[in-house]
Structure 1
């Protein structure tokens, strides 16, 4: 879940910047949950590592803590070519759905 207080502090309370960051996130990661599930199903650990690493950094800047922690775990196991825990994958997928909803709601209120 996005922590808007943290996000606003990173973005100097600039709603235009926040909207631009959210639009860029949606453009890049709108299908992130599906991509993670697909890579997990395919056991494509190297690509899952890259995806987890990318999402981890972005979500940390959104003040999201729980999914970031799970993404770190996914990143750590897939870095070594090992399968991540299924519950970590499912948590991240679920949380990405919540985040996507928050972003859509925010964008609808400012655009």
Structure 2
């Protein structure tokens, strides 16, 4: 879940910048949950490592902590070409949907 207090502190309370960051996130990661699920199901650990690493950094800047912890664990196991914990994968998939909904609500409120 996005922590808007943390996000606003990173973005100097600039709603235009936040909206731009969210729009860029949606362009790049709108299907992030599906991507994580697909990469897990196809056991593409190299691509899952890259995806987890990318999402971890972006979500950390949004003040998200729980999914970031799971993504860090996924990143660690896939770095070693090993299967990540399915519970971590499922948590990230669910949390990505929550975050996507938060972003869509935010963007609707500022347009």
Tell me the equivalent position of 1:92.
Answer: 92
TM-score by length of 2: 1.00
1:83 aligns with 2:73: no
1:36 aligns with 2:36: yes
TM-superposed CA distance for 1:85, in Å, is 0.1
Tell me the equivalent position of 1:22.
Answer: 22
TM-superposed CA distance for 1:92, in Å, is 0.2
Tell me the equivalent position of 1:55.
Answer: 55
1:94-109 equivalences in 2 (<5 Å): 94-109=94-109
Q: Could you list the per-position Cα deviations for residues 12-37 of structure 1 after superposition, in whole angstroms to 9, with x for gaps in the alignment?
A: 00000000000000000000000000
The CA distance in 1 between the partners of 2:81 and 2:69, in whole Å, is 19
Alignment root-mean-square deviation, CA: 0.2
TM-superposed CA distance for 1:4, in Å, is 0.1
The number of aligned residues is: 111
TM-score by length of 1: 1.00
Structure 1: unaligned runs, 5 residues or longer: none
Runs of 4+ aligned residues of structure 1 deviating over 6 Å after TM superposition are none
Tell me the equivalent position of 1:72.
Answer: 72
Instruction: Name the SS for the 2:38 alignment partner.
Output: helix
TM-superposed CA distance for 1:58, in Å, is 0.1
